[in-house]
Amino acid sequence: MVRIAPRYGLFIDGEFKPAADGRVFTTVNPASEESLSEVALAGPADVDRAVSSARTAFERVWSRMPGSERAKYIYRIARLLQERAREFAVLESLDNGKPIRESRDVDIPLAAAHFFYHAGWADKLSYAGFGAAPRPLGVAGQVIPWNFPLLMAAWKLAPALAAGNTCVLKPAETTPLSALLLAEVCQQADLPPGVVNIVTGAGETGAAIVAHPSVAKVAFTGSTEVGKQIREAVAGTGKKLTLELGGKAANIVFDDAAADQAVEGIVNGIFFNQGHVCCAGSRLLVQESVAGQVVERLKRRMATLRLGDPLDKNTDVGAINSRQQLDRIRELSASGEAEGAGRWSPPCDLPERGFWFAPTVFTGVSQSHRIARDEIFGPVLSVLTFRTPEEAVTKANNTPYGLSAGVWTEKGSRILWMAQRLRAGVVWANTYNRFDPASPFGGYRESGFGREGGRHGLEAYLHV
Ligand code: NAD
């Protein structure tokens, strides 16, 4: 289904090359702990080569090309992603641990949709509301996390390319393979050399991209902690910056909500992608009068979730992406118990090898508990209750983050009332975790700033 090479080089200037100093790292399958491949580890010299190549491609080719020509390349990438969708889905599930049902039905189609959508913008930038002839910025340095490896690459590359910028992208160290397959797709699409460069490595490689003087724009998705470091590194340099960081979203269920749909929304909100989702509905706020009933139904539904082999089409919950992430989830869950919340998981046999964590719900959680404040980034739900809409808003906003929220109620006026008061970049009503390339996504406060997707997302890649 997919051929994984024993070794991968860095994708610079349209070719795969080893790192200048020959260093490599291993990427493993988190469901089995088996090694998948060795990948080049880019040092500062490699980052410099990649940025120079992107700068040359920007000046000589990409920024001069008419938008309608750029669009052809971006459409080609989108179509190739669709053609090779099965290959991408299997590779993503192997490297990341996510269920194939999700990589097949969500990650890959959405990644293709981002390229299609932005291809449409490439020759219409004059109508985007940023002036008659908005100009691109130059080289975009882009650093992404491991939870949606290909999709995050698409979120970064597609708008940058449509706007006429060239890119140096770094995937996360635990999930480099789908970005490298995307590099192959760029070759297949005959994208001019240097327009997209993919450099692999860990935090130091990312820091070298951020610090490079020829990078005009930094786009980062990842943890709030690293986002703060990047903000400091970029301060005063004149580089444009967007940060998409963590979250601790409230999924709010009122007593008039359609109970079965709400329970599906709660499950999707926290167990989709093992909860490795920045906008996960990790705090369930449920109206007190229906709390017992909702939690009861939720537990019944959780007992039907199948955990196991990510490549099995019936799997609902796959592997945790890394041992480090598993340790974090374990530590925070232990703190929930120690602080007095009630812990429950359905009976669930965990495979012997690999990184696994059973879907877990905590009841009796108070706002001061760590599991109500810290981002766990795993399949762990904290349940809190409220009595009035005002109390729901106060509790939902009681977080340093502000990325997303969900509201479940049959009353339309209440949805609008809540949406006006919730301090979150995205508010879903009677649904959760819905994404569309036309819809801007991003946060407030410690969830970062800037928007990705839609007309707003283009702004970050243009002189406006
Ligand atoms: P992370 O911040 O540790 O790593 C993210 C990326 O940054 C990786 O590629 C990593 O190698 C790189 N990096 C690490 N240190 C760096 C440095 N000093 N300079 C430059 N790059 C550096 O985060 P993670 O653990 O990989 O991802 C999980 C986090 O990402 C969660 O907090 C989650 O909420 C957040 N996230 C946010 C969004 C969003 O859109 N808001 C989307 C997905 C994930």
List Cβ neighbours of 76 (8 Å cut-off, separation of 6 or more): 189, 190
Nearest CA to ligand 1 atom 3: 223
Query: From CA 7, how far away is CA 192, in angstroms rounded?
Result: 24
Domain ranges of the chain: 7-244+444-463, 250-429
Would you place residue 1 in the very low, low, confident or very high pLDDT band (cuts 50, 70, 90)?
confident
CATH number, domain 7-244+444-463, options 3.40.605.10, 3.30.1360.30, 3.30.420.10, 3.40.50.10310 = 3.40.605.10
Percent of the chain whose pLDDT exceeds 70: 100
Query: Where do we find the tokens 């998948």?
Result: 36
Q: Which residues are catalytic?
A: 244, 278
pLDDT of amino acid 99: 98
What per-residue confidence (pLDDT) applies to 464?
Answer: 87
Atom of ligand 1 nearest to the CA of 210: 20
In this prediction, residues 157-182 reach a mean pLDDT of: 98
According to CATH, the superfamily of the domain at 250-429 is: Aldehyde Dehydrogenase; Chain A, domain 2 (3.40.309.10)
Say if CB 431 and CB 265 are below 8 A apart. Answer: yes
pLDDT of residue 264: 98
Cα of 72 to ligand 1 centre, how many Å?
Answer: 31
Using CA atoms, how far apart are residues 302 and 299, in angstroms rounded to an integer? 5
Closest Cα to residue 246, out of 173, 328, 182?
Answer: 328
Residue to probe by mutation, ligand 1, list 148, 224, 228, 278, most atoms within 8 Å of CB? 278
Ligand 1 nearest-atom number relative to CA 375: 32
pLDDT tens for each residue of 411-441: 999 999 999 999 999 999 999 999 999 999 9
- The ligand 1 atom at the shortest distance from the C-alpha of residue 146 is 26
Contact 145 CB / ligand 1 (< 6 Å): yes
Helices 288-302 and 259-271, axial angle in degrees (round to 10) = 60
Span 170-182, mean pLDDT? Answer: 98
pLDDT mean over 141-154 = 98
Looking at every residue in the chain, the average pLDDT score rounds to: 97
Pocket test for ligand 1, best of 156, 173, 223 (most atoms within 8 A of CB): 223
Is the predicted pLDDT of residue 392 greater than 90, yes or no? Answer: yes
Query: What integer pLDDT is reported at residue 437 of this predicted model?
Result: 97
R_g of the chain, CA atoms, integer Å:
22
Ligand 1: which residue has its CA nearest to atom 19? 207
Residue 181 pLDDT more than 90? yes
Q: Is the pLDDT of residue 87 over 90?
A: yes
Phi, psi of 215 (to 5 degrees): -85, 125
Over range 70-94, report the average pLDDT.
Answer: 98
CB neighbours of residue 343 within 10 Å: 15
